[in-house]
Amino acid sequence: MNIVVCIKQVPNTNEIKINPETGTLIRDGVPSIMNPDDKGGLEMALRLKDQYGANVTVITMGPPQADAILREAFAMGADRAILLTDRKFAGADTLATSYALAGAIKTLDYDLIIAGRQAIDGDTAQVAPEMAEHLGLPQVSYTVDLKYNNGLCLVKKETEEGYQMLEVPTPCVLTVLAIANQPRYMSVKGIMEAFDKEVEIWTADKIDVDPNRLGLKGSPTRVKKSFTKPQKSPGQVYEVDAEEAVGIIISKLKEKFII
C-alpha cells in the first residue's frame, strides 16, 4: 500500500506574542514545528505501515527550511520525502496551494492520502478537501480513527454531537485530528539516518500543473490588509479582599440590571 501524507511547517502560534508598543507580531525566536494535526496524520499512516506494510511518502510545500519537518518525518519512519519549493508557488491561497499539491501527488502512486485537518497558523481546514476535489477523490474530514481492510477504510469522524462511522474505498483523502493518536517519538536510529536520506526537491516544472493556476496568480483571494486587534479600553481593576470584591461585583451586576 502506498500512503502519501501532506504535512506543513508552522510557527508555534502558542508562543507568538504581540509587541504592545508597535502592535505587531513578534515572530523572532518563535520555533517552527510540524503542524500538530499533520503529525497525527503521519502517525496514522505509520501505524498502517506497522500493521500491513506500506510505503509512506511525506510531502510539503514551503520554503527550503521546511526540510526540517521532512527529516523529522524520516526519523519517525517515513520512507520518502518531497519538498515542493519554487518562487512560482509563493503567495498561494488555499486553492492554489491545493492545486499545486494535487499536481505533485498526481505523479505518485497512492492508495491513501492523509492530511491534517488544519494548520495552526491559518486554521482554514481548506487545503485537503480542495486537493481531494482536484484529484477527483472522495474525502472524509475530522478523522479520529481508521480501520483499513483490503481497499476499504472504515473511518471514525468526529462531529459536534458525537461521531460517524463512514466507509470509503481507496483511493481517498482523509483529514486527521491531532487527538486521533499519540505520535511516536523520533527513534535515535531514525534521527541518525534522517540526515543521510534524500529529501527530493521538486519545482513547479516537475509537477503536472497549469502554471497560471499557481501562486499568487492562481489565487482567487487576496489579503487586503492585516492588523492586530484594537484593544478595548479596560474596565476598573480592584485589588481587594474577598468580602469587598463580592460587594463590588454585586453592585455592578445590579447597576447593569443583570440581577
- CB count within 10 Å of CB 185 equals 10
Cβ 207 to another protein, closest distance in Å? 17
Residue 1 near another protein by CB under 8 A:
no
Instruction: Select the span of 44-52, 75-83, 197-205, 224-232 touching another protein (CB under 8 A).
Output: 224-232
CB of 28 to another protein, least distance (A): 14
**Using CB under 8 A, which of the segments 57-65, 74-82, 105-113, 125-133 binds another protein?**
125-133
Residue among 90, 201, 216, 246 that touches another protein (CB under 8 A): 246
Specify the stretch interacting with another protein by CB under 8 A; choose among 53-61, 103-111, 184-192, 230-238.
230-238
Distance CA 73, CA 198 (A): 12
Are 73 and 188 in contact, with CB atoms under 8 Å apart? Answer: no
Contacting range for another protein; rule: CB under 8 A; set: 45-53, 72-80, 123-131, 186-194? 123-131
> Does residue 35 touch another protein according to CB under 8 A?
no
By CB under 8 A, is residue 216 in contact with another protein? no
DSSP string, 59-125: EEES-GGGHHHHHHHHHHT-SEEEEE--GGGTT--HHHHHHHHHHHHTTS--SEEEEES--TTT---
Phi, psi of 111 (to 5 degrees): -110, -35
For the record, the C-alpha cell of 146 comes out as 481508521
Q: Return the number of the residue (192 or 246) whose C-beta is nearest another protein.
A: 246
Question: What is the nearest approach in angstroms of another protein to the Cβ of residue 61?
Answer: 16
| Contact mark string toward another protein, 47..86, x via CB under 8 A | ----------------------------------------
211 binds another protein (CB under 8 A): no
What cell does 236 get?
A: 476598573
Note whether 138 and 198 are within 8 A (CB).
no
Residues 83 to 102 in contact with another protein, rule: CB under 8 A: 93-95, 98
Q: Does residue 19 belong to the site contacting another protein (CB under 8 A)?
A: no
CA triple 113-119-123, angle to 5 deg: 120
**What span, in angstroms and rounded, lies between the C-alpha atoms of 38 and 115?**
6
Select 83 or 207, whichever has its Cβ closest to another protein. Answer: 207
Binding mask 142-171 for another protein (x = CB under 8 A): x-----------x--xxxxxxxxxxxxx--
Within 13 Å, how many C-alpha atoms sit on residue 12's CB side?
8
Lookup result for grid cell 491561497: 93
Stretch that binds another protein, among 14-22, 44-52, 76-84, 103-111 (CB under 8 A): 14-22
* Strand 152-158 versus strand 199-202 pairing type: unpaired
